[in-house]
Amino acid sequence: MKKIILFVSALAMAATSMAQVTVASKNGDFKLRVLGRTNLDAGFNVATSDENIGYHNGVSIDDTRLGVSASFDEKWSAKFEIKYADGAISFTDVFVGYDFNQHHALKVGNFWQPFGTKILGSLGYKFIENATVDAALDFDARRIGLAYYYTSDRFNATVGIFSDGKLSSKKADLIDQGYSGSAKLIARPVLQSDDNGKVQQVFHVGLASAYTSSKAKVGINGKNPVTFGKAKTFVNTASFDPENTVRGELELLYINRRFYGEARYQIESLNVHASKNNGNGQNYLAYGAFAQVGYLLIGEQQNYNKKTALAAAASPKSLELLARVDYLSLDHDDYVFGQQTDFTLGLNYYFNKYLNFRLNYIYATINGDREHGVANNDYHTIQGRLQFSF
């Protein structure tokens, strides 16, 4: 409890008196910046059937973070960040990077693998939460590893090797770790920028793959995409003990001034060995997709980060209207675990570079198996988030 009190007190002091504080050495070869954020969330759920499946209503202060980023000797960078969520303190980003030049870079430490949209972090999400399929089939946490990055006007390429152990795991759980390898390629056939280098229009196509030799049991689940209360699992698989896991992803992204559009298709294949799964050696495949669009009702230009090849949050004083549909299927051959489809409308307003407000309405339909989640049902959710970051 003392650690929690000290952490929250430090964050409060930083938020009130050190917004975007940067400390630099006299000759400028070392810079240190204080980072932080906190989310104030509220939400309300309504079920469309009489079945009580544990909906949650209320408010919470979710995922509060504090950290520092540093740059030194021109080519080196580092980041250290911790978070307080669900009554516990844990590490998030802990890494060191080295830029050989404007095209080539390395990163080593604890960070997201190059797959899915979680690499954006909640500051860059268009919606309050990422799509259900992305949350279900993406990696569930950052991993310790080494990655290489290539960036140019027309291409981004990333390849990395990671441990399957989590930084927050107990020492006893880190003895026999698996590993994973990830790769991602982005091509930009359309790229138009203004005289200052700011992207005005872009179309990119991306492919990503990942191989995991996991030492742990694997279960895939779809949840209600909320941050308040405890997320309810609507569809989920049995627990598998696979020899390995293979993931694949195709992505399309287009930005033209006020308009933004993005679509992704993802698969996750489990190589199941009969000796480890009660004699059932049938391999398992889960898949899904999501598409989302946005338009600035107020504001002139959607933002795009060429280095990360990701859409970025809109500029201050912008009002953004959003819509998204995503689908997750956990049925494959003789495995019948269910499907989930979500429809989401969003409205974002960016007061300034430190403060924004997001409002989401979600309608979800569940075609599930009561034994592995929730039977057929629908639900409605309204949730809001006031996010402060520095």
Asked whether residue 18 carries a pLDDT value surpassing 90, the answer given is no
* Nearest residue to 49 (alpha-carbon basis) of 344, 327, 373, 365: 365
Mean pLDDT, residues 160-179 taken together: 71
Confidence at residue 139, expressed as pLDDT on a 0 to 100 scale:
77
* Amino acid identity for residue 337 in this structure: F
The tens digit of pLDDT for each residue in 235-286 reads 778 788 888 889 999 999 999 999 999 999 999 998 877 556 555 667 889 9
**3-state per-residue secondary structure call for 200-222:** EEEEEEEEEEEEEECCCCECCEE
Mean pLDDT, residues 329-346 taken together: 89
Residue of higher predicted confidence among 35 and 274: 35
Residue of higher predicted confidence among 214 and 44: 44
How deeply is 86 buried, as exposed, middle or buried, from its count of CB atoms within 10 A (0-12, 13-18, 19+)? exposed
The tens digit of pLDDT for each residue in 36-69 reads 888 888 888 776 655 555 556 778 877 788 999 9
Residue of higher predicted confidence among 87 and 251: 251
The whole-model pTM stands at 0.86
